[in-house]
């Protein structure tokens, strides 16, 4: 049995739908991952074969102003899960982020390249990666720019703003791969089925800027919206962002035979689904 921690989140709900009867989900009301005692109580009772941790404090700017909370949720919580899963002989699957990189390389990142987070969020997620290794049977899946039907995300924000404004300014100097949580869930399942270990990158193929992504959202939705360019330095956000943090997903394809679809096709499919 597979236990999904953070089962009510955006990725968690898609994992639960995909895995069906093979999965059981827990969320904040069931387990406090910042407490080792709470984690042990739940895991020792359920005794899953695999634990997928889809729980995280993902408010990047919020992490900057609440570093202790960020480290507790994204770092220490993973240590508790790693220790408990190791004790019961279960695999730990930890979902991580492109924000562990500084974005200065200028080409897609491989799994074994040096990390260098710029923000508290990135530091806390990197701590989570390190702590996941307390369980020798660990799988870390780095991804980026997530959106899905079950949570707040960039696509929904753009569609909401389109009902309020006639033009927008969106950052055009951050480059990445928008990733649909349904496709990420499929990648995680493929990795689990192949019993993969270590670090893997999983994101929809191709890349764009946030500005290009916004324009694609409006184009695919049939919305006439002017999208002006905006530099990251002019955005005035508390947390620094990596400017070019695309992920090389070749290892995922080689080891599982699974490749996530192109980001624009994923966006089309997402928009079709949300209209149903």
Torsion of CA 55, 56, 59, 61, to 10 degrees: 180
Per-residue burial over 108-146, b = 16 or more CB atoms within 10 Å of its CB, e = otherwise:
bbebeeebebbbbbbbbbbbbbebbebbeebbbbbbbbb
CA–CA distance, 161 with 169 (Å, rounded to integer): 11
Angstrom distance (rounded) from CA 224 to CA 103: 32
SS3 168: strand
Phi/psi of residue 131, each to 5°? -70, -30
d(CA 81, CA 242): 28
Cα first-last separation, the chain: 31
- Based on the residue annotation, tell me whether 109 is a catalytic residue of this protein: no
Token code pair at residue 217 = 């959202």
Angstrom distance (rounded) from CA 184 to CA 128: 19
Residue of 121, 138, 147, 200 marked catalytic: 121
Dihedrals phi, psi of 107, to nearest 5 degrees: -150, 165
For helices 181-193 and 10-19, what crossing angle results, to 10°? 50
Where does 194-262 have alpha helices with state H? 210-221, 250-256
Place of tokens 């923000």: 119
CA–CA separation, 4 and 75 (whole Å): 18
* Cβ–Cβ < 8 Å for 248, 110: yes
Which residues are catalytically annotated? 121
């Amino acid at each position: 049995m597979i236990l999904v921690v953070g089962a009510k989140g955006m990725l968690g709900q898609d994992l639960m739908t995909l895995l069906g009867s093979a999965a059981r989900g827990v969320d904040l009301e069931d387990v406090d991952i910042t407490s080792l005692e709470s984690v042990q109580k739940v895991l020792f009772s359920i005794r899953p074969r695999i634990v997928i941790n889809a729980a995280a404090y993902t408010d990047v700017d919020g992490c900057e102003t609440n570093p202790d909370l960020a480290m507790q949720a994204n770092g220490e919580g993973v240590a508790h899960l790693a220790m408990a899963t190791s004790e019961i002989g279960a695999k730990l699957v930890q979902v991580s982020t492109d924000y562990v990189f500084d974005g200065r390389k200028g080409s897609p990142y491989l799994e074994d390249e040096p990390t260098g987070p710029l923000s508290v969020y990135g530091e806390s997620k990197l701590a989570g990666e390190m702590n996941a290794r307390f369980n020798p049977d660990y799988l870390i899946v780095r991804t980026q720019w997530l959106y899905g039907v079950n949570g707040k995300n960039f696509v929904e924000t753009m569609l909401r703003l389109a009902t309020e404004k006639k033009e927008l300014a969106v950052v055009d100097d951050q480059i990445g791969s928008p990733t649909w949580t349904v496709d990420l869930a499929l990648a995680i399942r493929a990795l689990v089925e192949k019993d993969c270990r270590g670090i893997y990158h999983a994101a929809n193929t191709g890349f764009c800027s946030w500005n290009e992504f916004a324009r694609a959202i409006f184009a695919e939705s049939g919305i006439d919206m002017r999208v002006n360019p905006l530099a990251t330095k002019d955005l005035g956000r508390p947390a620094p962002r990596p400017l070019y943090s695309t992920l090389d997903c070749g290892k995922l394809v080689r080891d599982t035979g699974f490749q996530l679809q192109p980001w624009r096709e994923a966006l089309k499919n997402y928009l079709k689904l949300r209209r149903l």
